Structure 1
Amino acid sequence: MASSFSVNALTPVEVVEMITATGARKGNMRLDKVFFSGVSAGCMLAFACATVLSTNTAPWWQENAPGLIRTIGALVFPYGLCMIILTGADLCTGSFMFTTLAVLQRRLSWYKMLTHWVLTFLGNLAGSLFMVSIILGYGDILSAAPYSTEVINFATKKQVTPEWQMIFLRGIGCNWLVCLACFFGIQGRDLASKVIGIWMPIFAFVSLGFDHVVANMTFIPMAIWLNAPGISVGLYIWKGIIPALIGNIIGGGLFCGTYYWYMYALDENLSVGAIKGLVGKKGTVSSEDIESSAATVTAPVDKEEKSA
């Protein structure tokens, strides 16, 4: 008996449509919700950053097998992005892809896109600094040796040692992978598929030592909190925020958002309604799949937002 094989996932064209619809929806959210969604994402990523710092606190391994301990740390870090994507919280880095696609598809204005970027960035920063000061700082989670030593050494390697342009280039590679994780998170139809899809690119960016502007909001301020020598607020803004942010915008907005729009949306006239019309054809997505996939990456929208 002949058997057929089908992949239980959305096609790239369908994923791009979902990203576009999600970007438009996020861009039209109430501004206070955008900000607090960013705060939530910053807090959740800070948990993962703290786990990486704790995992990396292994002096013998750092001396004798630094690549291996970095790989182990990279294996645990992706749970932060899983929590963010699956709860629909907003990282500014993911927004660079979502809203860029929505703008290119003329479903969102440039003004609303930039507003969303600014608010999610500020929300991410507020959430990260809350975690650094209140939960990790006054909670005395990483303040004692040898954890404090690892925090300072880690931040020094990220902030003091590399040149500005190096951090910029690492930022491009970082958000290229982070937005691929968002892409795969939408592409899978079930929870396990989404988690695995998110996990792989995030593991890649951490294991390669790339720079994520929101992760840096925990790594570097935590070192400043512990009075790391040679690291100041000014240095953090100049080398921890600016080059990583610009690189992340290019990696997410150009290398992912614009590229996938060019490949799968520029010459396509495929909307969510058109995708639903494909129901019943072999190997295509069902309307229930579209709705459930959207629910994992979008926050609730008020009635007035739906009409915006």
Structure 2
Amino acid sequence: MTYVKPAELVSTIIDAGAAKVMLSARDTIIRSILGGALLTLAAAFAVTVTVNTGMPLLGALLFPVGFIMLYLLGYDLLTGVFVLAPLAWLDKRPGVTIGGILRNWGLVFVGNLIGAITVAVLMAIVVTFGFSDAPNAVGEAIGHIGEGRTVGYAEHGFAGMLTLFVRAVLCNWMVSTGVVLACVSKDVIGKIIAMWMPIMLFFYMGFEHSIVNMFLFPSGLMLGGDFTIMDYLVWNEIPTVVGNLVGGLVFTAIPLYLTYARGSSRRTPAPAAADVAPATAPAA
């Protein structure tokens, strides 16, 4: 069978988490830059499809190609290591410490940011013809996304911040599920189908993904979006990172660990009456 059962699957992702924490800084940065770049290029692709066809569902159906490519190549996303690294620590893997986890998260964040901003600049060149024209329809759409997901939240005050946070939690519940499902099959087709489902769901539902936003908002600023860097940080990126962390830990990492890696002992059934030896009668 190509299907990997949950108990074996959890052992595999714990191994992956330990390997991520122990990876060199150079390799972590390189893999994170490329991971961020591939994911955000797919986000630009999905926006382009949506604008050109007027069908948001089609854009969501096609967006997972970026996620699938980067995980098949072993690249890293912050939303993924939010789950993998803590699992290795919970399992007490040698050399995996809180400091090592924080180092891994910091390096992946920086790498993803570099990759996302690189794609943002390249796409801004594409949609403005080398900054010589006004943004085309795709560029205008990206700019408006940035406005709606910063100023739009700010207009609602606390309720807006709560909505942003919950969307970030739900996002990484789905994205981290996709990371786990990348190991649920031993063949490429099985991996692709398994990863596709939760990633399509999060994108179409409009949930908040910190790495996708590292592309959308710098792009929006370059393409004339009516918001500021501070709007982006306070009313999107920082709460989104925190929500992604909570979603990955609470809904994916901890439940999987508790029920499969550290599951409670099986209850032993009571012996049947026929299996119980009769007591010996006392001697007269």
Runs of 5+ consecutive residues of structure 1 not aligned to the other structure: 1-6, 62-68, 270-308
The partner residue of 2:182 within 155, 161, 185 is 185
Give the aligned residue type for 2:111: G
Give the aligned residue type for 2:210: V
The alpha-carbon deviation at position 268 of structure 1 amounts to 7.8
Query: Match for residue 74 of structure 1?
Result: 60
Query: Match for residue 54 of structure 1?
Result: 48
The partner residue of 1:170 within 163, 167, 170 is 167
Runs of 5+ consecutive residues of structure 2 not aligned to the other structure: 154-159, 266-284
Query: Match for residue 147 of structure 2?
Result: 156
Matched residue SS, 1:88: coil
Paired residues of 1:181 and 1:197 also in contact (CA < 8 A):
yes
The alpha-carbon deviation at position 184 of structure 1 amounts to 1.2
The alpha-carbon deviation at position 101 of structure 1 amounts to 0.5
For 1:149-183, what per-residue CA distance to the aligned partner results, in whole angstroms no more than 9, with x for missing partners? 21122222222213222111101100100111111
The alpha-carbon deviation at position 58 of structure 1 amounts to 4.6
Taking a change above 3 Å as real, the CA distance of residues 28 and 125 of structure 1, as seen in their structure-2 partners, is same
Query: Match for residue 77 of structure 2?
Result: 91
The separation in 2 between residues aligned to 1:160 and 1:70, in whole angstroms, is 22
Paired residues of 1:165 and 1:243 also in contact (CA < 8 A):
no
Please, what TM-score do these two structures have when normalized by structure 1? 0.78
Paired residues of 1:159 and 1:220 also in contact (CA < 8 A):
no
Taking a change above 3 Å as real, the CA distance of residues 117 and 9 of structure 1, as seen in their structure-2 partners, is same
Identity of aligned residues (%): 27
The separation in 2 between residues aligned to 1:54 and 1:24, in whole angstroms, is 38
Taking a change above 3 Å as real, the CA distance of residues 268 and 106 of structure 1, as seen in their structure-2 partners, is farther
The partner residue of 2:111 within 116, 123, 131 is 123
Give the aligned residue type for 2:165: F
For 1:64-117, what per-residue CA distance to the aligned partner results, in whole angstroms no more than 9, with x for missing partners? xxxxx2211110100010011100001010001111100100112111111101
The separation in 1 between residues aligned to 2:151 and 2:206, in whole angstroms, is 14
Give the aligned residue type for 2:58: I
Give the aligned residue type for 2:223: L
For 1:263-291, what per-residue CA distance to the aligned partner results, in whole angstroms no more than 9, with x for missing partners? 1111389xxxxxxxxxxxxxxxxxxxxxx
The separation in 2 between residues aligned to 1:250 and 1:145, in whole angstroms, is 37
The separation in 1 between residues aligned to 2:33 and 2:139, in whole angstroms, is 25
The alpha-carbon deviation at position 247 of structure 1 amounts to 0.6
The alpha-carbon deviation at position 250 of structure 1 amounts to 0.7
Paired residues of 2:124 and 2:139 also in contact (CA < 8 A):
no
Aligned positions, number: 253
Matched residue SS, 1:267: coil
The partner residue of 2:125 within 138, 155, 171 is 138
The separation in 2 between residues aligned to 1:166 and 1:58, in whole angstroms, is 29
Matched residue SS, 1:10: coil
For 1:171-206, what per-residue CA distance to the aligned partner results, in whole angstroms no more than 9, with x for missing partners? 110010011111111011110000000100000001
Query: Match for residue 24 of structure 2?
Result: 30
The separation in 2 between residues aligned to 1:222 and 1:203, in whole angstroms, is 22
Paired residues of 2:127 and 2:136 also in contact (CA < 8 A):
no
The separation in 2 between residues aligned to 1:169 and 1:25, in whole angstroms, is 30
Please, what TM-score do these two structures have when normalized by structure 2? 0.85
Matched residue SS, 1:89: coil
Q: Does 1:261 align with 2:257?
A: yes
Query: Match for residue 9 of structure 1?
Result: 3
The alpha-carbon deviation at position 140 of structure 1 amounts to 3.7
Once the two structures are superposed, the pairs formed by residues 159-308 of structure 1 within 5 Å of their partners are: 159-162=150-153, 163-229=160-226, 231-267=227-263
Query: Match for residue 280 of structure 1?
Result: none
Paired residues of 2:68 and 2:195 also in contact (CA < 8 A):
yes
Paired residues of 1:56 and 1:150 also in contact (CA < 8 A):
no
Give the aligned residue type for 1:49: A
Paired residues of 2:128 and 2:139 also in contact (CA < 8 A):
no
The separation in 1 between residues aligned to 2:189 and 2:228, in whole angstroms, is 41
